[in-house]
Each structure stands twice: as C-alpha cells, then as structure tokens.
A and B are shown apart, each in its own frame.
Chain A
Amino acid sequence: MPTLYEQLGGAPAVEAAVDLFYRKVLLDDRINGFFEGVDMDRQIAKQKSFLTMVFGGPVSYSGQDMRRAHAHLVARGLNDGHFDAVVENLGASLAELGVAAELINEVAALAETTRADVLGK
C-alpha cells in the first residue's frame, strides 16, 4: 500500500506545495504574526519538513519534537483557531494543485493527530 506521501507524488509534490502553502500562510493575517522575522530559507526548509510529515513521508518527528518546536509559539498564544487556519491553508493549497478531496481529507486527519502536541496540551 503506497503511503499518502507517495500517492501525492513524493518530493516534487512537496516542492510545489511548499511555495503555495507558505505564501498563503504569510498572507493570512490570522497567523502570519507567528512567522514574522523568521529567516525565509530556514522557514522554507521547515515547511518542507512540515508537509513531508503531514503527507506521512520520510521525516521522523516525535510528539516531543513537535512540542519543543512550537512551545515558544504556545507561550505567545498559539491556539486551536490558529491550528485550524493552518490546516485550512494546507487544504486550499492542495486543492489548487489538483489533489483529490479524499486525499486532502486524509492529510487533514494526519495533521489532526499532531494537534495536542503542537498546542502543548
């Protein structure tokens, strides 16, 4: 059974999705404050890890890693609404790339599994 990551098209699909997704995030006033002042090269590399991860690809982040990566954002007020906004932008980007609705739902479900860790609950 191919992973979702493979079904979506592997590394090249991630490449294409990163620019689209990150552009949407930076333009979304609900959440772009969290990304202010972050070096773009580093951030793009991290977006790649983010997408590879929610696509179920070869990136190994533990729940602890997710907690650590977002702890300083939780301290700044990161909440469920922000999380929903990120998942929404992700879905919109994938839809724009022509990914089928059921695959997008699978991606959203995978992202959902990280909610507690990302929000430090």
Chain B
Amino acid sequence: MSSANSPVLHWEDTPVPCLEGDTALEALLRAGIAIPHSCRAGACQSCLVQAKSGAVPAAAQQGLKDSLRAQNYLLACLCRPEQDLTLAPPGQGVRIPAFLTEADWLSDSVLRVRLAASEPLGHRPGQYLTLFRPDGLGRSYSIAGDDLELHVRRIPGGAMSNWLAEAQPGDAVTIQGPAGDCFYTPGDPTQPMLLAGAGTGLAPLFGILRDALRQGHQGPIWLYHGALNERGLYLTTELQAMAAEYPNFAYRPALLDRDGPLPELISRDHPKLNGWRGFVCGDPTIVNMLRKRLFLGGMASRAISADAFLPATLK
C-alpha cells in the first residue's frame, strides 16, 4: 500500500505513525504511548481501547462482550487499521476499582487471592477478569467462584504473580471484565460433562463445577486435574469431599509420573465422548492437546469450551 492512502491512526488528538502490517498496539507502543498489554493474541483483553471515530475492523472485537462491541471497543493487538481510526483509553466504568481482601497459599506455588470490587462484575464462575496493578501492568485470571476468587501460580520472575504474593489485604487494584465463554450453561441437566486442565487451569474448572452442582446438574461430571506429581495438586480435600457428597461427580487427580499423559488417561477412561460437554483450561499446549483429544473422542467442536492461559509475550 502506498503511503498516500495509508490509514491515519490517532491516539486521542495525537497522530500516530502506522507502518504497513502494524497492529494498532505496535504503532501506539512505538510512539511511546503506554497501552497495557500482555498476550498480544486477543486473549487477555488488557489492551482494550475505544474507537472514537473510524471503522472498527471486525477481527479486532473478537471475544469482547456485546456491550463493549456496541460502544466501539476493540483489542489493539488484533487491530490492523484499514481506514483512519481514532483511539482512546477505556472510558468510565469499564475498569473498576477493587481491593485484595485475602490471600493464602493453596500449595507451594498456588496463591488464592480474593478481591472485593466497588460494584458487581456480573460474571459467571469460570470466566476471567483482567487485573491491573496500580502501575498499569495487566494480567488475566480466571474466576473460581461466585465471589472474586483467583488461583494464581507464582512464576519465578513473574511480575504480577510475585507482586500478588507480596500484596496485603486492602491493597488496591483495578479490574476489567468479565470475559470468556468457559462457564456452565443449564439447559441439559443430564448431559455428561468433562472438565480437564493442569495447574491453575483448575481455577475456572472449580468455578464451573460448583456452579453446575449448585444448579442441580444431574448428569455425570468428571474433573481431571493434571499435575507433574502430588505437589502440583491443590484443593484435593475439598474436591474429595464434594465427590463424596455428590454421587454424579468424579474427581480424578492425574499425576504425570503415576498416570501418564492426561489426554491418554482420559481416552482410557472414556473411549467415546459423543454427546458430552467439555471444558479445558490452563497451559496453552495442554489445552490444545486436550481439545484435540476430546474432539477425536467424538465430542462436537461446539460442545468444547477452552481457555488457554497465554503468557505475556515481548513480541
């Protein structure tokens, strides 16, 4: 494309040079504008911005809830401007103040964080929110229940997870959301359900599980929690107690060093998954393997909901 008809990008009133092939995020960052960002792949929603004028490319609104779409919000990392576009930071009400109420360790490496927000987030357990530190750093976390319960794995050298590990009750954050379609939908209370994930992939699954049981789901619910070894599991006591209370719920801790790879274990337990509903969450590589395995087992592609915990990328 010649520069004569290249689209012109503005950040509020400031023109921002946009090279061919640039995403709006790349152009804004190069111009020194501090847009929060993490995954650069449309998953974390930390790069949310609002279009004040110009045509919003449809691809840039992928995964946004309807109310945000209607207000011309878009994800800067997915936006390749096709026409002139004026962008601005999110307006009032999109990001809401919250504070830490509680933090405790569920295992050596998994911290449970509870937040209280200044207004209800209106989420379903299993969806995720984007959490911003006071300095603007943003990361996504899945919501494990009705209240804002998060399970955060401490990553060596990780900016947000280590900050949360040191944070104190009362510390202020900002949250945005909810997002994602990993949540229980009533409608077929007898449909068999399979929930699978490794590590803190348990967070959304735990939320979905509790939601389904509370809503009286009667079909079998199998929860697979994968870990390298015993030390990677958490909430085992709670999950065993729930399995004892609900005869339709089966809890399967899956240890790589004892049970082999999680997808194979699931295939051995359930060679046929036709008619099942599936949720897979956590590490992106494991999520992709699980999703493929459930699909090949006979689960319909539209019956599988997946949340891959994409890490922050530098480029």
Interface residues, chain A, with chain B CB atoms under 8 Å away:
15, 18-19, 22-23, 26-27, 39-41, 44
Contacts and interface: CB of A to CB of B under 8 A. Distances in A.
A4 B298 CA distance: 28
Contacts of B109: none
B300 A19 contact: yes
Given A39-B288, A40-B288, A40-B291, A18 B301 contact: yes
Interface in B244-303: 288, 291-292, 295-296, 298, 300-302
A41 B302 CA distance: 10
A18 B295 CA distance: 12
Majority secondary structure of chain B interface residues (helix, strand, loop or mixed): helix
A27 B267 CA distance: 15
Given A18-B301, A19-B301, A44-B301, A26 B288 contact: no
B295 to A, nearest CB: 7
A51 B306 CA distance: 24
Contacts of B306: 41
A41 B288 CA distance: 10
Nearest to A47: B301
A27 B301 CA distance: 15
A25 to B, nearest CB: 11
Contact of B296 (A15, A27, A44): A27
Given A23-B296, A26-B292, A40-B288, 5 more contacts: A19-B295, A23-B298, A26-B296, A27-B296, A40-B291
A33 to B, nearest CB: 14
Contacts of A26: 292, 295-296
A29 to B, nearest CB: 13
B164 to A, nearest CB: 29
A27 B298 CA distance: 12
Nearest to A27: B296
Most buried by A among B288, B298, B301: B301
Most buried by B among A23, A26, A40: A40
20 contacts: A15-B302, A18-B301, A19-B300, A19-B301, A22-B295, A22-B301, A23-B295, A23-B296, A23-B298, A26-B292, A26-B295, A26-B296, A27-B296, A39-B288, A40-B288, A40-B292, A40-B295, A40-B301, A41-B306, A44-B301
Contacts of A15: 302
A22 B300 CA distance: 11
Contacts of A19: 295, 300-301
Contacts of B301: 18-19, 22, 40, 44
Contacts of B291: 40
A58 to B, nearest CB: 17
A18 B34 CA distance: 42
Contacts of B295: 19, 22-23, 26, 40
A24 B295 CA distance: 11
A15 B302 CA distance: 10
B173 to A, nearest CB: 30
A115 B162 CA distance: 54
Nearest to A44: B301
A81 B300 CA distance: 29
A44 to B, nearest CB: 5
Nearest to B285: A37
A27 B302 CA distance: 19
Contacts of A22: 295, 301
In the A-B complex, the 7 residue pairs with the smallest Cβ-Cβ separation, listed nearest first, are A44-B301, A40-B291, A19-B301, A19-B300, A40-B292, A26-B296, A23-B296
